[in-house]
């Protein structure tokens, strides 16, 4: 046997061995994931179908909690009822207030540059928004954290409902806020799901939100309602801002900021840079 034949055989053997090892590693990883409880695994919306999303959505503890609280509101309403008009007005007020509250929180809290400056607030900011912008398609960090969402919904809706129709109005407004949150969370998932919606209004919603995540994070703060963006001057379409913002994935928290405020970086194990999809493919790294 010639030297060239031996070399070719060794090369083929090494290639097959590497391929086998990769397959085993991948299979092992999949097996490890499959043995974990559903929400201990990683779920990426760009790899899921609509059916898989629906199953995952109704298994998530936040959605179960919101719907459970709605049920409790209905039971409590039986003991503290409001008039039909008071009930309708309370629900309508909650539906009106919710998009404005969400817009302001999204723009000035989640995209504010102050939470990372606090050692105690940094973990919350990281969990509720930084991680989502680092990898917008990761379902595990897309849903809001209950310790931040439930108090916010209560503060935004209970006083309004109470002023309109007393305890019954407060319960109605709170339930309306919880149901609106469920709707927001589902549509937020849809916006990151790898499919093209049939309805034009959903396509529009998806396009505007993807622009917020992949082009310029300083606009399009509404998730399902961009009316307040239009009124407050933060609405845009890609053609108006074609150049990608350098902080669209890190929200301005970069290496320079981390020198002074290191807590988010420490919790994250570094600062990921570049496009999430290219990072997932190993083409861009973490510092």
Query: Is residue 29 pLDDT above 50, yes or no?
Result: no
- In this prediction, residue 209 has a pLDDT band, given cuts at 50, 70 and 90, of very high
| Structural contact between residues 185 and 192, judged by C-beta atoms closer than 8 angstroms | no
CA atoms of 60 and 76, how far apart (whole Å): 25
pLDDT in tens, 80-105: 999 999 999 999 999 999 999 999 99
Position 6 in a domain: no
Burial 160-183 (b: 16+ CB within 10 A, else e): bbbebbbbbbbbbbbbbbbbbbbe
pLDDT of residue 8: 44
Query: Is residue 23 pLDDT above 70, yes or no?
Result: no
pLDDT in tens, 114-162: 999 999 999 999 999 999 999 998 888 899 999 999 999 999 999 999 9
Position 29 in a domain: no
Position 39 in a domain: no
pLDDT of residue 266: 95
Position 38 in a domain: no
- In this prediction, residue 15 has a pLDDT band, given cuts at 50, 70 and 90, of very low
How many domains does one find in the chain? 1
Work out the angle at residue 166's Cα, subtended by the Cα atoms of residues 163 and 168, and round it to the nearest 5 degrees. 125
- In this prediction, residue 277 has a pLDDT band, given cuts at 50, 70 and 90, of low
Residue 277: count other Cβ atoms within 10 Å of its Cβ: 14
pTM greater than the 0.85 cutoff: no
pLDDT of residue 282: 56
Residue 282: count other Cβ atoms within 10 Å of its Cβ: 7
Position 142 in a domain: yes
pLDDT of residue 285: 54
As a whole number, the mean pLDDT across the chain is 85
pLDDT of residue 66: 98
The encoded tokens of residue 182 equal: 């469920």
**Strand, coil or helix: what is 44?**
strand
Position 90 in a domain: yes
What is the domain extent for residue 103? 45-280
Position 205 in a domain: yes
Position 117 in a domain: yes
**Strand, coil or helix: what is 259?**
helix
CA atoms of 78 and 70, how far apart (whole Å): 13
CA atoms of 103 and 247, how far apart (whole Å): 19
Residue that the structure tokens 């994931």 belong to: 33
């Amino acid at each position: 046997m010639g030297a060239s034949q031996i070399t070719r055989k060794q090369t083929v053997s090494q290639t097959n061995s590497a391929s086998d090892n990769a397959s085993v590693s991948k299979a092992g990883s999949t097996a490890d994931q499959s043995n974990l409880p559903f929400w201990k695994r990683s779920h990426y919306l760009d790899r899921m179908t609509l059916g898989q999303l629906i199953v995952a959505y109704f298994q998530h503890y936040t959605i179960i909690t919101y719907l459970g609280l709605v049920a409790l509101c209905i039971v409590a309403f039986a003991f503290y009822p409001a008039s039909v008009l008071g009930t309708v007005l309370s629900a309508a007020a909650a539906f009106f207030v919710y998009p404005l509250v969400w817009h302001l929180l999204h723009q000035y809290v989640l995209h504010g540059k102050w939470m990372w400056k606090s050692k105690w607030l940094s973990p919350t900011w990281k969990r509720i928004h930084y991680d989502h912008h680092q990898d917008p398609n990761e379902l595990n960090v897309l849903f809001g954290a209950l310790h931040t969402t439930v108090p916010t919904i209560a503060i935004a809706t209970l006083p309004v409902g109470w002023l309109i129709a007393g305890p019954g109005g407060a319960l109605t407004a709170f339930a309306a806020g919880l149901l609106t949150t469920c709707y927001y969370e589902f549509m937020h998932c849809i916006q990151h799901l790898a499919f093209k919606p049939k309805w034009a209004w959903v396509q529009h919603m998806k396009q505007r939100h993807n622009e917020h995540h992949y082009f310029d994070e300083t606009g399009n703060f509404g998730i399902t309602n961009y009316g307040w963006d239009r009124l407050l001057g933060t609405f845009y379409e890609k053609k108006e801002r074609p150049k990608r913002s350098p902080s669209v994935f890190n929200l301005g928290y970069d290496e320079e900021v981390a020198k002074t405020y290191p807590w988010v970086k420490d919790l994250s194990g570094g600062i990921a840079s570049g496009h999430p999809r290219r990072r997932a493919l190993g083409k861009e790294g973490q510092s």
